[in-house]
């Protein structure tokens, strides 16, 4: 009986050590691979009454479609506490003036007709997926340390287009605004764009960036190899912001206006979601199961002895 107890204690200790060591070494690092996701940019506003009928079910739409779509909410920079110059910068790619709210662009194609329903959103998503002639293979690696998120984005295997850029959105999953500023009655907003940076590839251009309380590293790093482009940067987050509420959306797209626009690849990484190696190593649980099975077998054997 003492031997059985000792073996069980050792097994539990091994399992505990394995779990804690994995969490310590990887709890602040995350990665994702993909590129086939569709970018859904929504122009919305806290003063927009129609948006109040659409925005609340947007999280359900994105969650039900998994990695197929990445929504970024661009709030109007007029009379909206969540608005930033990022909105005008992005919407100017698709519109000569201020667009109507709400407006949705799926990989740059406008979904017109006022407030969309779920069916029209799904049809637009399918259309955008079918319009892609090929997807850039994208990898995102992110880590968090001392108030900064370090971001590395790699691009591989993309369509031969001369002028392209890497565009990085940093979104906050859920943001609550004061009721006095919620003109349309909606106080909780999702997928809000908080920071943005774009860097042209293959040309001498510093690009464009902005952070709403976030601060990008002054100099991004772009490295080229025959089959890969790697973008490296970091961004500090405001004091009190929970990094696990942030997501990174990496986009590879052509430069220029809507007539020449092409989305080549998109990938979304949720910070704090499924950290690399944070799950318990399968070896330890299997060892524990085997030990417990052995103990159970020995117990049954002793009971069967005369």
CATH classification at residue 223: 3.40.30.10
Given a cut of 80, whether residue 119 has pLDDT beyond it is yes
User: Do 135 and 264 meet the contact criterion of CB atoms below 8 Å apart?
Assistant: yes
Supply the range of the domain harboring residue 232.
30-270
Q: How much is the pLDDT for 258?
A: 59
| Full DSSP string of 15-71 | HHHHHHHHHHHHTTEEEEEEBBPEEEEEEE-TT-TTHHHHGGGHHHHHHHTGGGEEE
| Residue 136: cis peptide before it, omega within 30 degrees of 0 | no
Given a cut of 90, whether residue 176 has pLDDT beyond it is yes
- Nearest Cα to Cα of residue 298 among 290, 9, 11, 12: 290
User: How far apart are alpha carbons 44 and 64 in whole angstroms?
Assistant: 21
Given a cut of 80, whether residue 203 has pLDDT beyond it is no
Reading the block at residue 288, the tokens are 């524990």
Given a cut of 90, whether residue 121 has pLDDT beyond it is yes
Record the pTM.
0.80
Longest distance between any two alpha carbons in the chain, whole Å = 91
Residue 9: CB partners within 8 Å, gap ≥ 6?
none
Given a cut of 80, whether residue 37 has pLDDT beyond it is yes
Count of structural domains, the chain = 1
Domain contains 287: no
Q: How much is the pLDDT for 259?
A: 65
Domain contains 218: yes
Q: How much is the pLDDT for 261?
A: 82
Confidence at 162, pLDDT banded by 50, 70, 90: confident
Given a cut of 70, whether residue 168 has pLDDT beyond it is yes
Given a cut of 70, whether residue 25 has pLDDT beyond it is no
Q: How much is the pLDDT for 92?
A: 92
Domain contains 112: yes
Between residues 3 and 265, the one the model is more confident about: 265
User: How far apart are alpha carbons 4 and 80 in whole angstroms?
Assistant: 65
How many other C-beta atoms can be found within 10 angstroms of the C-beta atom of residue 79?
11
Q: How much is the pLDDT for 273?
A: 65
Given a cut of 90, whether residue 282 has pLDDT beyond it is no
User: How far apart are alpha carbons 179 and 209 in whole angstroms?
Assistant: 30
Stretch 163-188: mean pLDDT: 96
Given a cut of 50, whether residue 9 has pLDDT beyond it is no
Stretch 126-140: mean pLDDT: 92
Sign of the dihedral through C-alpha 49, 53, 59, 63: negative
Reading the block at residue 206, the tokens are 């510093």
Domain contains 279: no
User: How far apart are alpha carbons 92 and 223 in whole angstroms?
Assistant: 29
Q: Report the chain's mean pLDDT, rounded to a whole number.
A: 82
| Cα-based torsion angle of the residue sequence 203, 71, 185, 112 in order, rounded to the nearest 10 degrees | 80
Domain contains 131: yes
User: Do 181 and 50 meet the contact criterion of CB atoms below 8 Å apart?
Assistant: no
Q: How much is the pLDDT for 232?
A: 96
Reading the block at residue 238, the tokens are 């405001």
Stretch 276-289: mean pLDDT: 38
Q: How much is the pLDDT for 22?
A: 30
Stretch 268-289: mean pLDDT: 53
Q: How much is the pLDDT for 300?
A: 43
User: How far apart are alpha carbons 193 and 171 in whole angstroms?
Assistant: 4
Return the percentage of the chain with pLDDT > 90, whole number.
64
């Amino acid at each position: 009986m003492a031997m059985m107890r000792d073996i069980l204690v050792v097994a539990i200790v091994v399992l505990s050590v394995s779990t804690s060591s994995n969490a310590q070494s990887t709890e602040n690092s995350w990665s994702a691979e993909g590129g086939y996701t569709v970018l859904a940019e929504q122009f919305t506003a806290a003063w927009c009454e129609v948006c109040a009928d659409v925005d609340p079910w947007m999280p359900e739409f994105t969650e039900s479609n998994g990695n197929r779509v990445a929504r970024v909410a661009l709030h109007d920079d007029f009379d909206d506490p969540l608005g930033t110059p990022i909105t005008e910068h992005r919407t100017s790619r698709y519109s000569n003036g201020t667009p109507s709210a709400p407006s949705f662009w799926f990989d740059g194609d406008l979904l017109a007709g006022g407030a969309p329903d779920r069916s029209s959103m799904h049809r637009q998503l399918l259309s955008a997926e079918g319009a892609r002639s090929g997807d850039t293979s994208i990898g995102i690696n992110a880590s968090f340390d001392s108030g900064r998120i370090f971001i590395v984005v790699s691009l591989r295997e993309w369509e031969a287009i001369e002028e392209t850029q890497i565009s990085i959105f940093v979104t906050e999953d859920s943001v609550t605004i004061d009721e006095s500023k919620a003109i349309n009655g909606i106080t909780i907003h999702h997928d809000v764009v908080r920071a943005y940076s774009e860097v042209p590839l293959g040309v001498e251009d510093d690009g464009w960036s902005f952070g709403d309380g976030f601060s990008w590293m002054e100099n991004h790093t772009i490295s080229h190899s025959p089959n890969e482009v790697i973008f490296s940067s970091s961004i500090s987050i405001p004091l009190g912001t929970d990094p696990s509420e942030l997501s990174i959306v990496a986009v590879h797209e052509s430069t220029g206006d809507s007539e020449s626009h092409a989305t080549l690849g998109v990938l979304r990484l949720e910070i704090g979601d499924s950290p690399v190696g944070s799950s318990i190593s399968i070896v330890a649980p299997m060892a524990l199961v085997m030990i417990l099975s052995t103990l159970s077998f020995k117990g049954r054997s002793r009971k069967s002895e005369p």
